[in-house]
Chain A
Amino acid sequence: MSEQKLSSAEQLRASLTDQTPPKIPLFEIEPGATPEQTTQDIELKPTPKTSNPVLKKVQGAALATVLGAGTLSQEIRNGIEDSLGKPRTFEGEELGGLGGVVDGLKNLSDEVSAVPKKMVDGTKQIVDTALKQAQGVATTATHLAKALPEKALDLSGQVGNFGLKQAQGAVAATGIYSKIFSQDIKDGIAESWGTKKIALPKTSPENISIQEAPVLQELYGVTLEENAPKKDRLARLKELLTSIDQGGVPAFISNNLKRIAAENNIAIETTDTPADVIEKLRDKYLQQGETFKNISTPTPTSETIAPQIQKPERKRILSDFEKDVTEQTSIEDLAEFLTSKNYKDRMFGSGTRAVSGANLAKIISEKVLQAKKGSQVDPYFFIPDAILANKLHELLETSLSWQEIVSEFGTLSFEKKDSEVKEEAAQKATEMTIRKIEAATNPGMWKKIKTWTKENKYKAGAGVVASALLPKLFAFFLGGATEQKDPHVPNNQENRQVIEQNKNTSETKKVSEASTEQERKTFIDPKTGDTFTVEKPASATSKPDAQPLATNAPAEIPTQPEVNVIPIVDTPDYISGQPQSVTDTPDYISPKKEISTEKSLAEPFFSAEPEKPVVAQEKPKQFYSVNEMRNWFSQDKQKLAAFERVLHYADGQEEKGANGQPNVRAFWWETMQLEKVSTILPNKARSQNRNLTHKYVNYHIRESGSRDSIIELRGLDDNQFMTTGAKLRDFDTWYKNSLFPATQQLEQKITQEEKEGLADTTQTLGEYLTQVVYLGEKYGVQIKGIPELTEAQQQKVRSFQPTEVRAEVSSGNRENVVTQEKASPTENTYWADSALQNASLRGVGNSPYNSNLTWLNGPYENMVRQYWDIQKDMKINRHGYTLGELQYLKGQFEELRRRADSLGTNGTAFIIGNFSEKASLRQVDKILEDIETQLGAFQ
């Protein structure tokens, strides 16, 4: 051992403790003496060989000390840096402070790192040196533990509870393990050389500080006196029991414990734990007539053992927490305890924790595994709690199957899936989150995932499946828990082989490239090993990352018929993430349906079967109230819109009772189309989405010019897309052969007033056609292919008995109705009212939180987003707002505009999303313009 090295340790202590360090090394070397002479009490027998198992043990112990010191120093650094919130370098001027502690410990570990290599030689000198160094580590660690708390606080004042505790515990652990190892070294040497005359090297008592003396005594278990009188058996036993009561049950049955047990005729069974042996010794002691009392002293302030080392004279009993630790009977129970709230709160407080119990358990499991594999000597160096470390050590010692235990550690956190969250708010919030996500995603998926996790604990927890796990995992979720074999995947084994090749062979690339398309659709069920394909509807291609799942579907995607692509116009910038167009397959398009183009001229395009109102589709012979019907259709906007139209005509019939027929016939058209040709049905909001009318007008009227003169249908051709389908062709056929000739005849007969009536752009297609039919009857022009509206059907219309007056009863009283609607939002427009009210609740204008723009503008942002979202939805579902609703929305957005201006003037910005204030205002203006445009169609 060089003086230089001891000197550096000495300097380190001086810098750390602010105490006068020992003036000479701990182990006195007499002037002129050789290293061999410094341990003259050791009587060496033949030179040990490197293969000596005891020497190996010594080497291992020293190595553990070195590794522990190095790793712990890094742990301390990490912990403190975490607490300080940023990495920093401790050196130079801060050497006397915390940086010195950390760096010093690192230096120390470097200093000792040469020991194992030297010890391989097995010479007396080297062993002696190693012993000293190990003792030096222990002593220095003790000083570090003592110095660290105050130095840490002095340095920054910010070191959190965790960092401090971790550092304390880690340093203390270094000390205690050094102690253990030093004892092992002593015992090892003694056994190896066949002598019991092991004693510490000569020390010079005057050079040992008062504080150090008990520390050394505690650490090494020997007195500093060179010729300390030998204690008798009972005294040794008493000393041992006292020591245990002060410092806790040892981690394992040491040689010293075995020796004392043997002295007292105590047999140690293979199943005995250290606690058992101590209990036997205690009984023995009591039997011998001397009352032994547990020594009760105040509990140390920290559960780490640092205070115990610093103040060995203080006696302690186990706290409740420590008792809990020692009462764990298996590693599984101990790990469970570590994950408990009790442990976490105890160790880290109830606030923010840098390390969780679960993580700690995981660290333990990793270290145990490493220890088993030999890559890490000591698995529990990282436990900043001596009691816990001791217990873990004890359990590991008694465990027969480490490997399984490691696995259990890994899966532990998932085994306790349903029992963790205790706090009421957290519990409810978790449940609600899970429910909402479950509702918003694929129903049943959560259950599948949960079931899979439960049934595959080992895979899910231990992660031993390595790279294959994740793809399989996802594949499973993608495919669901299907046990069915996909008929479109020719051979499961082949597919597995392909995957394997992809992983391991050089041919993988070829295979992969050659079958990329196929593989992308092929997944493996991790449970069954079955492969299956994931197929998505054709429409998924236009909606990336947003499609529900479809599995076990045929591999071949059936050819889709022609579809309408509805462009989404005027989409605000912030919705750019949304698809710019959507693919919509109309109901009437069915690839299986044969298209007939050979209808007779007189045959209508619709069936001549008796028509039923929409209610009859569900329950043909039962009638419902209007409100019931509305509730019934509330989830289907398209059907609801259709139903509203039925109501409209049913109501209108009463008002036009004088000539009755037009309205009844209009209703007939609408209801019939509702059931048979739903896409022909114009939307609830007039002049919108009349795709069929567009075709009708453009192809048959505008292009031919035959109808322009008498029937202006400007409002009916406001969509610029085409549509196809059997029904349309049927309609065209019927139009060309029946309606068109009739209108040509009518053109010469109807009055100017009637022409204007037909040119009413606000009327629906049904109204228009009904008027044509009405005029045809009036002027004796036959229109072929019109089925009769039976009395029974008319009666059904009347039986709806609408309970409330709709806005659009007739054009005559529209203004009044609009006013009525404007006063109260409908179910289509309530969101605007809610948003404004919500904003008001947030104290707009007078809240002390006006500076919080996100808080303040949140409802407004939602209001703007909601408008465009609904618009998009309406375009897809081909319906729109009523006039009254538009008027109402106009008022609401004008109110929003006023508030936005107000916010601008009182110093608070009106901000929506990522837009600037001006751009945000433009968003509102844009909506107002859009509403105006829609209102224009009603003019």
Chain B
Amino acid sequence: MDPLAYIQNKIRLALEKRKVVSIELDAIAQNLVPSVLQVLVHDHTDTLQTAQTAITTLSNTEVFEHPQIKRILDASIEKVCDMYKNEYTDVSNKITTDNIIKNDLATLLKTSPTSWSTLKEKTYQELMNNAVPGSNDERVFLWIGEIKKGTGITPNINETVGNYSKRAIASFLKSQSEIPV
């Protein structure tokens, strides 16, 4: 048995059990093999050292069935996969957040798409003050209201509109991703 392929497969199986963490599981698992080994060696030096004598006389298959090795290997894989899953959730939430904002604004501000670069720097208070009917400020203000309503997250009065929209949507997406399937 190829130890690295074995570990790769185990990572893949572990990732498969989780909520969607990309379809490229094989490649991801392959890339994470060294990390698992790092964790294995770093977190379980003593166990490896203790088991060294025992596993020398075992076949590769038997080594992976060795209770100590199996335990620490599973723990290392679990640790790496947990970390990956969290990273994936964060990154994909961020990407989704950016896309949501981008798409919304493309519709909202289609007459002046570049105005967002100015508007996003305004605080919520400033936006409220400038929300003249028919203005871009008003459009964004209404949009912020939708975000507030949809996510249940309230903007701070001095928080910039750009920061708030990102924070609220990302937080909402995170809450969605945490719900067990």
- List A residues at the B interface (Cβ < 8 Å): 339, 341, 344, 350-352, 356-359, 362, 410, 413-414, 416-417, 420-426, 428-430, 432-434, 436-438, 440-442, 445-446, 449-450, 453, 460-463, 466-471, 473-475, 477-478, 499, 502-503, 508, 512, 516, 519-521, 523, 534, 536, 540, 544-549, 841-843, 846-849, 852, 854-855
Chain B residues, Cβ within 8 Å of A445: 38, 41-42
Residue of A with least CB distance to B69 = A470
Best-surrounded residue of B12, B34, B43, B60 (most CB of chain A within 10 A): B34
A478/B92 in contact, CB under 8 A: no
27 contacts between A and B (CB under 8 A): A410-B5, A413-B26, A417-B30, A420-B24, A421-B28, A425-B22, A445-B38, A449-B34, A449-B37, A453-B4, A463-B5, A467-B60, A469-B3, A471-B63, A502-B56, A502-B57, A520-B50, A536-B45, A540-B45, A544-B47, A545-B43, A547-B46, A549-B45, A843-B153, A849-B175, A849-B178, A855-B179
What are the residues of chain B within 8 A of A359 when measuring CB–CB?
A: 9
Q: Are B41 and A470 in contact (CB under 8 A)?
A: no
Quick one: which of A410, A423, A433, A854 has the most chain B CB within 10 A?
A433
Cα(A931)–Cα(B8), bound, Å? 47
Which residue of B is nearest A472, CB measured?
Answer: B56
Q: Min CB distance, A545 to chain B, in Å?
A: 5
Q: Does B32 contact A (CB under 8 A)?
A: yes
Q: Which residues of A contact B52 (CB under 8 A)?
A: 471, 474-475, 519-520, 523
Binds A, one of B79-87, B100-108, B141-149: B79-87
With contact pairs A421-B24, A430-B31 given, residues A470 and B152 touching in the complex (Cβ less than 8 Å): no
Q: Which residues of B contact A471 (CB under 8 A)?
A: 52, 55-56, 63
Give Cα distance in the complex from A10 to B102, angstroms: 64
Q: How far is the CB of A476 from chain B (nearest CB, A)?
A: 10
A416 to B45, alpha carbons, bound, how many Å?
Answer: 29
The answer on a CB contact under 8 Å between B59 and A466 is: yes
Task: Report whether B63 and A470 are in contact in the complex, using a CB–CB cutoff of 8 Å.
Answer: yes
A840: nearest chain-B partner, CB-CB: B153
Q: How far is the CA of A520 from the CA of B43 in the complex (A)?
A: 17
CA distance A356 to B9 in the complex (A): 10
Residues of B within 8 A of A466 (CB): 59-60
Q: Of B39, B87, B179, which contacts A441 at CB under 8 A? A: B39
Interface residues of B (CB under 8 A from A): 1-5, 8-9, 12, 16, 21-28, 30-35, 37-50, 52-53, 55-60, 62-63, 72, 80, 83-84, 87-88, 90-92, 95, 152-153, 167, 171, 175, 178-180
> In the complex the two chains form, what is the Cα distance from A352 to B23 in whole Å?
8
Residue contact B60 to A470, C-beta cutoff 8 Å: yes
Taking A477-B37, A546-B43 as contacts, is the C-beta distance between A433 and B84 under 8 angstroms? yes
Supposing A466-B59, A469-B60 touch, asked if A545 and B30 sit within 8 A by C-beta, the answer is no
A428-B91 in contact (CB<8A): yes
A462–B2 CB distance below 8 A: yes
- Let me know if B63 and A478 touch, CB within 8 A: no
Give A468 to B39 CA distance when docked, in angstroms: 21
**Are B63 and A467 within 8 A (Cβ)?**
yes
CB of A540 within 8 A of CB of B39, answer no
Interface centre among B12, B23, B60 (most CB of A within 10 A): B23
| Most A C-beta atoms less than 10 A away, residue of B22, B39, B45, B47 | B45
Q: How far is the CA of A356 from the CA of B91 in the complex (A)?
A: 25
Q: Which of A410, A414, A502 contacts B30 (CB 8 A)?
A: A414
CB-CB nearest in chain B for A536: B45
**Beyond A425-B91, A470-B63, A520-B52, is A356–B41 a contact (Cβ under 8 Å)?**
no
Residues of the B chain whose Cβ atoms lie less than 8 Å from the Cβ of A468: 56
Whether the pair B153, A426 counts as a contact (CB closer than 8 A) is: no
A446 with B28: CB separation less than 8 A = no
A436, A446, A523, A855: the one contacting B175 at CB < 8 Å is A855
In the assembled complex, the CB of A793 is this many whole angstroms from the nearest CB of chain B, namely 45
Contacts of B4 in A (CB 8 A): 414, 453, 460-461
Q: Which residues of A contact B12 (CB under 8 A)?
A: 356
Pairwise interchain contact A420-B27, C-beta atoms closer than 8 A: yes
Question: Are A461 and B5 touching (Cβ within 8 A)?
Answer: yes
Say how far B123's CB is from chain A's closest CB, in angstroms: 19
Secondary structure at the B interface, as helix, strand, loop or mixed, is helix
Cβ B47 vs Cβ A351 within 8 A = no
User: How far apart are the CA atoms of A499 and B52 in the complex, in Å?
Assistant: 11
Check if A545 sits within 8 Å of B84, measured CB to CB: no
Residue from A424, A432, A547 within 8 A of B45 (CB atoms): A547
A14 → B minimal CB distance (Å): 40
**Which one of B48, B57, B83, B171 lies within 8 Å of A433 (CB-CB)?**
B83
Contact indicator B49/A446 (Cβ below 8 Å): no
Cα distance A534–B28 in the bound complex, in angstroms: 32
Which residues of B lie under 8 Å from residue A475 when comparing CB positions? Answer: 52
CA distance A414 to B27 in the complex (A): 10
Q: Which residues of A contact B95 (CB under 8 A)?
A: 424-425
Q: Considering the complex, give the chain B residue whose CB is closest to the CB of A422.
A: B24
CB pair B38–A449 under 8 Å, yes or no, is: yes
**Please, how many angstroms separate the alpha-carbon atoms of A326 and B43 in the complex?**
48
- Given A499-B56, A545-B46, A855-B175, verify A434-B35 contact (CB < 8 Å): yes
Q: Say yes or no: A426-B21 contact (C-beta < 8 A), given A520-B49, A540-B46.
A: yes
Contact B56 A463 (CB under 8 A): no
Docked pose: A560 CA to B180 CA in angstroms: 51
Would you give the shortest CB distance from A487 to chain B, in whole angstroms?
Answer: 20
Given A445-B38, A512-B53, the answer on whether A463 and B59 have CB atoms closer than 8 Å is no
Q: Which residue of A lies closest to B58 (CB)?
A: A467
* Of the residues B5, B40, B49, contact of A521 by C-beta under 8 Å: B49
In whole angstroms, how far apart are the Cα atoms of A429 and B94 in the complex? 12
Contact of B34 among A434, A847, A849, A852 (CB under 8 A): A434
Closest A-B pairs by Cβ, 8 of them? A420-B27, A463-B2, A426-B22, A429-B88, A429-B87, A441-B42, A425-B92, A855-B178
The one of A341, A358, A438, A847 in contact with B38, judged by C-beta atoms closer than 8 angstroms, is A438
The answer on a CB contact under 8 Å between A453 and B49 is no
Distance (Å) between the CB of B97 and the closest chain A CB?
Answer: 12
Chain A residues whose CB sits within 8 angstroms of the CB of B45 once the complex forms: 478, 534, 536, 540, 545, 547, 549
Q: Which A residues are in CB contact (< 8 Å) with B43?
A: 545-546
B77 CB to nearest chain A CB (Å):
12
Compute how far the CA of A422 lies from the CA of B24 in the bound complex, rounded to whole angstroms.
8
B49 and A410 contact, CB distance less than 8 A = no
* Residues of chain B within 8 A of A478, CB atoms compared: 41, 45, 48-49
Known: A433-B84, A442-B38. A413 touches B5 (CB 8 A): yes
Chain A residue numbers with a CB within 8 Å of B92 are: 425, 429
Q: Closest CB of chain B to A52's CB: distance in Å? A: 41
CA–CA, A469 and B92, complex, Å:
38
Contacts of B26 in A (CB 8 A): 339, 344, 356-358, 413, 420
Bound Cα distance from A350 to B23, whole angstroms = 7
Q: A352 near B57 (CB under 8 angstroms)? A: no
Question: Which chain A residue shows the least CB distance to B49?
Answer: A520
CB distance from A495 to the nearest CB of B (A): 12
Residue on A nearest B96 in the bound complex, by CB: A425
| Chain B: minimal CB distance from A83 (Å) | 15
| Chain A residues near B21 (CB-CB < 8 A) | 426, 429
Instruction: Tell me whether B27 and A437 are in contact (CB under 8 A).
Output: no
Q: Which residues of A contact B39 (CB under 8 A)?
A: 437, 441
A451 to chain B, nearest CB (A): 10
Beyond A442-B42, A467-B57, A854-B178, whether A356 also contacts B25 by CB under 8 A is yes
- Contacts beyond the supplied A341-B24, A350-B23: 11 A-B pairs with Cβ under 8 Å: A420-B27, A421-B22, A426-B24, A434-B32, A441-B38, A445-B41, A445-B42, A463-B1, A478-B48, A536-B46, A855-B175
Which residues on the B side are within 8 Å of A462 (C-beta)? 2
- Give the residue name and chain of the B residue nearest to A513 (CB): B53
Residues of chain A within 8 A of B88, CB atoms compared: 425-426, 429
Measured CB to CB, the closest approach of chain B to A862, in angstroms, equals: 13
Known contacts A339-B26, A420-B27, A477-B41; A437 and B83 CB within 8 A of each other: yes
Q: Let me know if A519 and B152 touch, CB within 8 A.
A: no
Q: Which residues of B contact A449 (CB under 8 A)?
A: 34, 37-38
